[in-house]
Amino acid sequence: MSRPIPPRPGQGAQRARLAEMLRVDQAGELAAVHIYRGQAAVMRQAPGRERIASQLKEMEGHEQVHLSRFNDLLSERGVRPTLMSPVWRAAAFALGAGTALLGDKAAHACTEAVETVIEKHYAGQIEELKDRDPALAAELSQFRDDELAHRDLAVEEGAHEATAYPLLTAVIQAGCRAAIKISEKI
């Protein structure tokens, strides 16, 4: 017995999917900026943490470049940002500050957890867009490389040594995946 051929998507399906991608990516970069801001705010106040605070500021700068580009893309393509932006901004800052209060290793574990989810997210989008929008796929590839560098630095700095590392990263990654799904639609 042959399977029925699924119906072809409507003309707006690709545009709607691209809008979801851009909305999520903009929200993710907004959150990343605020995670690093929260972490840096704590680390700047801790004696002997100047080097880590400087690393966090540098990574925040990379994320700000990504955020600015996604802001431009949303405007150029007529896509609204997620309505959850105020929530993500506050939650991200709290996550960053909270993990930094747990110590250097927990802050790095947070970075590793977030960047691992984002790397996989970008990889899927790159695959989906490589033939349909190669210029955007190339930009996402560059952003993905930056995220991988952040993740690798976090691992080098001892992310895996954080107290309750498996639990901490599992909770953060689950939160990231939920935020992605919510931001696609809302």
Tens of pLDDT along 145-178? 999 999 999 999 999 999 999 999 999 999 999 9
Sorted by where each begins, the domain ranges of the chain are 15-184
pLDDT of residue 9: 58
Beta carbons of 146 and 66 less than 8 angstroms apart? yes
- Give the predicted TM-score (pTM) of the model: 0.87
Q: Which residues are annotated as a binding site?
A: 29, 63, 66, 115, 147, 150
Number of C-beta neighbours around residue 16 at 10 A: 12
Q: Which residues are annotated as a binding site for Fe cation?
A: 29, 63, 66, 115, 147, 150
What is the fold, at CATH topology level, of the domain defined by 15-184? Ferritin (1.20.1260)
pLDDT of residue 3: 63
Cα 161 to its chain centre, rounded Å, is 22
